[in-house]
Structure 1
């Protein structure tokens, strides 16, 4: 079975945005954003809305 695609990772790559930049805009650590990007941790709905607004 295919692993679900991670849209955060896809959009960052499409726009040429670094995880560190997103972490700074969210006020989160690089590690936290990296966990979101690689599906190790799921962001809350509030954080998802923040990410959507930023991207």
Structure 2
């Protein structure tokens, strides 16, 4: 499985949990869990909301492909 995002790492860096993020976004915890394990990916609008909630640049949530 290809790692495309680092949401899990950003949550850990900020001391937040997936359950906290799910509540903030009004999403099911299983959805956030899938994002954290890179099973599925959030859309760009949701990724921008995650960046705002975690107070990070959206680029910090993506894995560079260079």
Offset of residue 5 of structure 1:
6.2
CA offsets per residue over residues 5-54 of structure 1, 9 Å max, x none? 63211111111111000000001010000000000111001110110111
Displaced runs of 4 or more, over 4 A: none
Q: Specify every segment of 5 or more residues in structure 2 that has no aligned partner in the other structure, as ranges.
A: 55-66
RMSD in angstroms over aligned alpha carbons? 1.3
* TM-score, L = length of structure 2: 0.73
> Which protein has the bigger helix share?
1
Q: Specify every segment of 5 or more residues in structure 1 that has no aligned partner in the other structure, as ranges.
A: none
**Separation of aligned partners in 1, 2:47 and 2:5:** 12
Structure of greater relative contact order (alpha carbons < 8 Å, 6+ residues apart): 2
* TM-score, L = length of structure 1: 0.85
